[in-house]
Structure 1
């Protein structure tokens, strides 16, 4: 699916070969280096609607600096970009609130991709200051793409985590299965979703989640598109599947409702019409693109 999906894109050159080179990283911390300004882990928006950047002189002296990558700006050498993890940061696993959505709505796709990656990385550091193996403090390594245990008898290495989540539309007799979670705004319906469990393939996770949440047996799972989702650090793996029976049995601990919608109802909702059968997922979400993809088939 050729389309721009929120938080996806190559906003920065991540330059993995530089991360492990402490001398090179130090040399990049010069007067041209940029520091991404954050309000906690939320973005700071400049007057022109872009991400706000400062210099490393603006950093908290007690902060850990995370190397985000290199940015081309027309100069001979690209600029190194960093974010800081201050001692006061505690991270967040909460979904985005309306104020955060509004702030992100001002950003270009490139800026949104930069912010999404930075938010996930900074949040991971803020929530992983101690070793999960022995409980000792950890220190930043590889420019912020690793943390090492300080206990000489442990020396565990920890890496930023990404949680795979399947998000899927299900089709039967030309209609689409969508559900609504309790936290959704009124009348909002979206694709079903759930985390991939240990030992599962994506196809198995799709089938299990659809059966658990809606009581529908899915088959013929196909991949459509993916989206990094920095709340806190998931990879949404968009899929489409088919079913042979429309009988729904809702898991009320997961969903408020689940329904089958006709192509006409989905198209009307995606047009933004206020009198639609439901309110479509927002353009930020990969679910929006799944519905758009289905309509275009």
Structure 2
């Protein structure tokens, strides 16, 4: 296993998730009434921040009084855990067409996509905001039972949804996805890594590692080998784990790997990729000279590339 050089973005949460308190009704009631409790607002998958325009963003957490003013009891909320002795809840405000009037007294604050402040937000705050975003995304999209269609009710501090008709219990879903950097060493001993440009990428010139979702009945190593072969026509071996990263955009866990290819010949799946090519370390270090871009700095794809280069 190659160890990650440093923690990935959205990891290292300061929260004690206190899962043993989620079904403690007395504890939750006391926490909701406690003036020291904190609330993490989420509006249509965006987080409440201040100082975004100055490049020094900070998370805006609400006190119990402020949360009560926006009607916490009438809105989806969930217990996230305990932070420095204070209970923390996520609070979803997505039913508001314009949430700005709710926070007029807080000054210049705004709801922003976490990915827009990548690398600028405090790591602990980023992990808590990502946690809230992921959980509330699941909550607001699983209001009805997938078994019988009846409307469900939240339980366990918002960490499960229970159907009152058929008693089915639904839990938060996280989709496992493998993401991998494949390398190849040629006859002259020059090592290169495989990067590709996907049709899904927002920037035409961005090249990143290959990735894909794990299928039922498939190991992580098998998923790596299958995805690389399907997208680039390359057979790989020596699949080794690097690190993982929660990626609540909207609901994935990214599992990072390295793998080795014995043959550099590519057969690109044009439905998945626009292009794929091999890069030396020097080319990666000077990617701007090629007129290309690497993936965003908060992504595990970028971390896989940087750790391979260094």
Scaled by the length of structure 2, the TM-score of the pair is 0.85
1:38 paired with 2:42, answer: yes
2:151 to 132, 137, 144: 137
Q: What CA distance in whole angstroms lies between the structure 1 residues aligned with 2:298 and 2:95?
A: 29
Q: State the alpha-carbon separation in 1 of the partners of residues 292 and 46 from structure 2.
A: 30
Distance in 1 (CA, whole Å) between partners of 2:209 and 2:136 is 29
Residue 104 of structure 2: aligned partner = none
- SS at structure 2 position matched to 1:137: coil
Q: Secondary structure at the match of 1:20?
A: coil
Q: Matches of 1:186 and 1:139 in 2, distance apart?
A: 44
Q: Which runs of 4+ in 1 moved over 4 A?
A: none
Alignment match, 1:8? 11
Deviation at 1:100, TM superposition (A): 5.0
Alignment check: 8 A CA contact 1:250 1:258 kept: yes
Pairing 1:112–2:126 present:
yes
Asked if the contact 1:213/1:251 (under 8 Å) is kept, the reply is yes
**159-168 vs 15-24, which deviates more?**
15-24
| Cα 1:99–1:140 shift into 2, 3 Å | closer
CA distance in 1, matches of 2:232, 2:198: 12
Q: CA deviation at 1:81?
A: 0.9
Deviation at 1:187, TM superposition (A): 1.7
Question: Residue 64 of structure 1: CA displacement?
Answer: 2.6
SS at match of 2:59: coil
1:110 deviates by 0.6
CA 1:223 to 1:295, structure 2 compared with 1: closer, same or farther past 3 Å? Answer: same
SS of corresponding position for 1:115: helix
SS at match of 1:123: helix
3-state SS of paired residue (1:216):
coil
Q: Which residue of 2 aligns with 1:177?
A: 194
Contact 2:47 2:113 in 1 (8 A): no
What are the ranges of 5 or more consecutive residues in structure 2 without an aligned counterpart? 98-111, 186-190
Where does residue 28 of structure 1 map in the other structure?
31
Distance 1:129 1:38 in 2: 17
> How does 1:82-93 map onto structure 2 within 5 Å?
82-86=89-93, 88=95
Sort the Cα spacing of 1:87 and 1:179 in 2 relative to 1 into closer, same or farther, 3 A. Answer: closer
Instruction: State the shift of 1:16 in Å.
Output: 0.8
**CA–CA distance in structure 2, aligned partners of residues 276 and 240 of structure 1:** 24
Kept after mapping to 2: 8 A contact 1:38/1:44: yes
Maintained 8 Å contact 1:85/1:125: no
Q: Which residue of 2 aligns with 1:53?
A: 61
Q: In the alignment, which residue of structure 1 is the partner of 2:164?
A: 150
The alignment's C-alpha RMSD in Å is 1.9
* Deviation of 1:49 (Å): 2.5
Shift of 1:89: 7.8
2:292 matches 1:278: yes
Looking at structure 2, the residues matched to 50 and 280 of structure 1 have their Cα atoms a distance apart, in angstroms, of 26
1:262 aligns with 2:270: no
Conservation of the 8 A alpha-carbon contact between 1:146 and 1:158: yes
Q: For residues 57 and 124 of structure 2, what CA distance do their matches in structure 1 show?
A: 12
Partner of 2:177: 165
Asked whether the equivalents of residues 38 and 86 of structure 2 are also in contact (C-alpha less than 8 Å), the reply is: yes
Aligned counterpart, 1:207: 225
Match of 2:80 in 1: 68
Q: Which 10-residue stretch deviates more, 132-141 or 20-29?
A: 20-29
* Secondary structure in 1 matching 2:49: coil
